Amino acid sequence: MTKQNRTNYILAGDIGGTKTSLALYEEEKGPLLPLVETTVKNDTVSGLDEIITSFLQENNILPRSACFGVAGPVINNRVRLTNRDWTLDGQQLQQKFDLQSVVLINDLVATAMGAVHLPGSALYTLNGGQRDPQGSVAVLAPGTGLGEAFLIQSSEGLLPCPSEGGHCLFSPADARQTRLLRFLQQEYSQVTAEQVCSGSGLPNLYAFLKTEMTEPPPLAAKMKKGGDEAQIIVDEALEAVGRDAQEKNLPIETLRLFAAILASEASNLVLKVLATGGLYIGGGIPPRILPFLTTENFMASFSRGVYRKMLASVPVHIILEPKTALIGAAAIGISLCAIKRIQGDET
């Protein structure tokens, strides 16, 4: 591979606890048009090194640099994955694969940058609003946990910033949520937003509502069998709401409570970073529960308080594209290469 070819390619990755996605990009074509890509289940390999080696050999391409979005806190370009016994070091990866640079970023930072590159067809808009082109952008992603990040304006464009806002304390917005908080305080010394606004938090909402509603025996038996409780709750709620949108049962009320908490937490994040540039809601749960995220209900919980008028003007989108973090990692990698070229750092 010639040096000219080498400088044309950027390796990007989305590295989670369960699977890893890699793709190769040409700087000129941008982050939405990968040349080749692959997804590998992490249980089938010894580590990221093996995935990268195999991917590059199969495609006979030697990239110049790499940017990886990783599910874990990145400190000094090093990260230990939250749900996988892997530790990644950017400098070591750079040396091993003879790259000019390897940048590790948090996966929500990657999602944040990817969100602003998505076409309208990859978004479900809850509120068109009026985007402030100079405003910050907020990203909230309830999946297994609750990820949060934001982007701020800089002289070089939008600058993505990490956050661990999902681990801030849960603040109830009404009487029912106050009862929820008191219920969970019996089990947790501190109740965080993640414990009520994520896949792992859905069973907490369900358990609380069981104290106020009747649990149908067939559903109780299904829950006791084990398995993914969050998946059971979502499936049962969607099936029930499909029969009768006005029906009130335990799974439906669980998702309605979840949606209200999500809207409130989203509002908190927008206020904290003054995200007048828009809010993007990612993660695996929101696209699956769109019937519970109607504009009217969501915006009623989202636009409140002293700044309700400002909040009502914020564009709110649900991310439908599952590869948003990969797109964001590519966008950051491409941007860093462009900056280096402008600064004359390329050799």
Tell me if the domain spanning 3-106+323-343 has CATH number 1.20.58.2050: no
CA atoms within 13 A on the CB side of 304: 15
pTM of the predicted model, to two decimals? 0.90
Domain limits of the chain? 3-106+323-343, 166-319
The band of 7, judged by pLDDT with boundaries at 50, 70 and 90, is low
In this prediction, residue 154 carries a pLDDT of: 87
Go through 60-82 and write b for each residue having 16 or more CB atoms within 10 A of its CB, e for each that does not: ebbbbbbbbbbbbebeebbbebe
pLDDT in tens, 164-204: 899 999 999 999 999 999 999 999 999 999 999 999 999 99
3: confidence class by pLDDT, cuts 50, 70, 90: very low
> What does the alpha-carbon distance between residue 99 and residue 92 come to, in Å, rounded to a whole number?
10
Give the pLDDT of residue 247: 62
Q: What is the pLDDT of residues 284-321, one digit of tens each?
A: 999 999 999 998 999 999 999 999 999 999 999 999 99
Residue-level pLDDT at 72 = 87
- Inform me whether the pLDDT recorded for 338 exceeds 70: no
For residue 245, the model assigns a pLDDT of: 53
The Cβ of residue 244 has, within 10 Å, a number of other Cβ atoms equal to 10
Hey, do 3-106+323-343 and 166-319 end up sharing a CATH topology, with the first three levels equal?
no
Band of pLDDT at residue 226, cut at 50, 70 and 90: confident
Residue 192 DSSP symbol:
B
Element (H, E) at 7: none
122 band by pLDDT with thresholds 50, 70 and 90: very high
Confidence class of residue 157 from pLDDT cuts 50, 70 and 90?
A: confident
pLDDT at 59: 93
Q: Assign domain 166-319 to its CATH architecture.
A: 3-Layer(aba) Sandwich (3.40)
